[in-house]
Structure 1
Amino acid sequence: MTSRSKSLADYPRPNVAVDIAVLTVAEGALNVVIQRDAEGRASLPGRFIRERHTVEQTVREVLELKLGLSPDHVRPHLLAVFSDPDRDPRGWTISIAHAVALPNVGLSGVIGELAPVTPTGRLASGEELLYDHAEIIAAATDTLRERYEDQADPDDLLRPPYTLSELRQLHEAVLGRPLMRDSFNRRVKPLLEPQLDADGKPATRIGGGRPARLYAKAAPTATFGWRLPSPRSEQDPGS
C-alpha cells in the first residue's frame, strides 16, 4: 500500500517577517534604532511578508514605511534567519533578520529612538526587548565589530575628512573598548589618503591642541591585516 503523496496544503505554514537592526554611533557609543508598541514595549522595526511579496520588497517596506528611510540609499545585508518556534508568543514566526550601519547624521528623521548597546549587544539601559530581538541585535553588533576589527570605517559612519583621533574614537565606540593610539595610527595610515587644502598644503583641523592632519580612505576594501589590539592586549600579550 503506497502512502498518499502530500500537497503543500498538508504542511503547516509559519508566519514570515523581516526585522532590521539599524546601527549607528552617537555620543561616543554604539546605538541601535528601536521602536515601541502601544504598550511602550521596545522592539526592532519589522514587518510580516505580505502575500506575493518578496523578502527584498519587504525590506524596502520596513525601511520606508516603518523607519522613514529612503530604500534607494540604504542597503541592509542579510544577517541570519531566526526560527525558534517559540520566539514569538503570538504564533509560529520565522524572522529573516537584516542589519545596516548608517552615520548618525543620516538618522535625524528616523522613526524610532536611538538606544545605546553594550559590548555584548544588549541594551545599555537593561531594558528587555520583545521576542528574540536582543539576539538579533547581538548578532548584528558582532558582525559589525568583526568588520571594524579589520578595516578602517568600512561602513562609512564617519564623514571625511577626519583626524586620526576621530577615526580611532569611532572604532573604539564600535568595538566597545579602548585602542592603543600609536598602534592604531600605524595600522590605519597606509589605508588613508592625507587631504590637501586649496593651496596644496596638508589640510588640518584645530581641536583643543595643535592642528591635526585630515584624512580620507584611500582604499575602501583594504584591511589592517590583523585585529586591532587594546591597551591590555599590548601590555600583557600572554593574557
Structure 2
Amino acid sequence: MAAARTSRLTDYPRPNVAVDIAVLSVVDATLCVVVQRDDDGTAMLPGRFIRERRTVADTVGEVLQLKLGLSPDHIHPHLLRVFDDPDRDPRGWTISIAHAVALPAAQLTDVVGELVPVTPAGTLTSGEVLLYDHTQIIAAATDSLRERYEDRPDPDNLLPQPYTLSELRELHEAILGRRLMRDSFNRRVQPLLAPQTDATGSPVTRAAGGRPARLYAKDGPPTATFGWKLPSRDDG
C-alpha cells in the first residue's frame, strides 16, 4: 500500500535560514576581511537570521546596515553559495546563504568590526579560527574576488580613479596573492584604460617616489577582459 501523500508544509522539518556576509578590502597592500566577535570573543562574520516575510535581499541590506553600520545604497554583494552542512551550527539545523562584497578601505573607516588580514587561501593570517564554517565562507569569498581580478582591471572599484599602473598592479597583487610581471601587466591593462589628459591635452601625471607616472581611468565596456590569466613574476 502506497504511503499517504501530504500537502501540509508543517509536516516537513525546516531549518533556520541565515545570511552571512564577508566584507573584503585591501588595506596597506594587504587583503583584509571584516570580522566581529561573539560574547566569548570568538571571531565571526556578520550575519542575521531571515525574519518572517523578509527576503534574502532584505536581510542582506539589514546585515549591512544593522550589523555593520554601512549604508546598503550602492553596495552590490555577490551571492557565493548556500552553506548547508546540517552540523555547521551546534545550536541547531541552520543553512547560510553566504554573500561577499569588496569595498574601498575609505568606506570602512567606521565599520562595526575589525579589518583583519587574510591569506590567499582565505584563512586569517593570525591563524585564529572563526565560528562555525565562516572560514569556508571567507575562502569562497576570496576565491570569487580573485576570479574577478584575474579577468578585469579593478572590477570592484577598490582604487579611486585616476590611478597609476603601478598602483593598479599592486592592488591586483594584494588580491591575487602573488607578484605580477610589470611589463606584461601593463600590456594587458592599458587597452582597457584611458590615459588622463589636462585641458591642453598634456598627460596628467603623479609623482610617486620616483619619476612622474601617468594616470589612467577605466575605458571601454565593463565586460572587456584581459583575455587570459595574468602572468606571475616567477613565470619566467
TM-score range, shorter chain: over 0.9
TM-score normalised by length of structure 2: 0.97
Residue matched to 2:193: 192
| Superposition pairs of residues 1-239 of structure 1, within 5 angstroms | 1-6=1-6, 7-219=8-220, 220-233=222-235, 235=236
Deviations 1:74-101 (A, max 9, x none): 1112110000001011111000001111
Q: 1:180 offset after TM fit, Å?
A: 0.5
1:150 aligned counterpart, secondary structure: coil
Report the AA paired with residue 120 of structure 1: A
| CA distance, structure 1, for counterparts of residue 83 and residue 37 of structure 2 | 21
| CA distance, structure 1, for counterparts of residue 166 and residue 2 of structure 2 | 72
Deviations 1:105-155 (A, max 9, x none): 111111111011001110001000000000000001001001101110011
Report the AA paired with residue 228 of structure 2: W
Q: Which runs of 4+ in 1 moved over 6 A?
A: none
| CA distance, structure 2, for counterparts of residue 58 and residue 177 of structure 1 | 35
Q: 1:222 offset after TM fit, Å?
A: 1.1
Report the AA paired with residue 228 of structure 1: L
| CA distance, structure 1, for counterparts of residue 104 and residue 199 of structure 2 | 27
1:19 aligned counterpart, secondary structure: strand
Unaligned runs of 5+ in 1: none
Same amino acid, percent of matched pairs: 73
Q: 1:2 offset after TM fit, Å?
A: 4.3
Unaligned runs of 5+ in 2: none
8 A Cα contact 1:168 1:184, kept in partner: yes
Report the AA paired with residue 231 of structure 2: P
TM-score normalised by length of structure 1: 0.96
- Give the alignment's Cα RMSD to 1 decimal: 0.9
| CA distance, structure 1, for counterparts of residue 26 and residue 223 of structure 2 | 21
| CA distance, structure 2, for counterparts of residue 205 and residue 154 of structure 1 | 23
How many residues were matched structurally? 234
